Amino acid sequence: MWNTSTHAEYLHDHEDYGFEGAKAHFNWELIKRKRDAYVSRLNQIYRNNLDKGKIESIHGYARFTDDPEPTVEVNGKKFTAPHILIATGGHPSTVSEDDVPGASLGITSDGFFELESFGDKVRITVGCIVIQGVKLDERGHIVVDEFQNTTRAGVYAVGDVCGRALLTPVAIAAGRKLAHRLFEGKADSKISYNNIPTVVFSHPPIGTVGLTEDEAIKTWGKDSVKVYTTSFTPMYYAMTTRKSQCIMKLVCAGKNEKVVGLHMQGFGCDEMLQGFAVAVNMGATKEDFDRTIAIHPTSSEELVTLR
């Protein structure tokens, strides 16, 4: 849907770029059909991968039992194992009209793609599934330690159910680290939740990695933190009536001005962030950024020419 809305954004600028009379009708049914087919194809690939790995799939609603060994019950049958991983992802939750007036006008992401047609305003909400038998925090997320252990021995959790860094790549990385620890003898195998890059796929997109300015000051002290910012209009908008700013911030700390945070909002920031996240994770300094030759004309060059 984000890519679809990106095309809608570009339509506003077609005439400014010389495409006279460029109009388009949006066919929701076509996009919905293609999206559903794509998701179905992905699901089939996952099922095929499980079959190739000779992994047995048991379909049904599982609940933990009171047995001394980690045990779940599915369709009236119990399954016991030395290791049970909870990785159910998020679960849509809704609120009542009594709690939030107008709640009936809201819709979950699943419901959104079930629409055959739609109006002008849609609200989307998601929540976490509640798991019985392990400790939950005040928001219903499963409590885990740094190694993804829950409060019950032999039961682990990764992903959105833990309520931290709700991102697919984070869940995948945490699952891999857990597997290395449980089955390859790597006792210290765990994911680092520091410097995880993330993007809000809005228009314009927002990207962030590392500490915010306030977090850096709290960690390093105000006198040890220096912030560099810039705000500019990307070259794309030089030809358009419609304008949009790009904003960037570099948060540096310590005598060598280590880059501990990088934040941006604007056209193309979603694709810029990944490479800069590598630099932040490697401990790059402001001097490292400064001696990097800029790619011109791009918006990303602003981050290596900050003064």
Backbone angles phi, psi at 265, to 5 degrees: -145, 125
Nearest C-alpha neighbor of 236 from the set 6, 2, 3: 6
In the chain, DSSP assigns E strands to 62-64, 71-74, 77-80, 84-86, 90-91, 127-128, 155-157, 198-200, 206-210, 225-232, 246-253, 258-265
Q: Which of 83, 141, 180, 296 is catalytic?
A: 296
Residue 204 to residues 6, 201, 234, 270, Cα–Cα distance (Å): 9, 8, 12, 9
Q: Quick one: the chain helix, strand, coil %, rounded to 5?
A: 35, 20, 45
Q: Check if 7 is active-site.
A: no
Quick check: 127 and 147 in contact, CB under 8 A? no
Q: How far is CA 270 from CA 47, 138, 275, in A?
A: 30, 32, 11
- Residue positions annotated with a catalytic role: 296
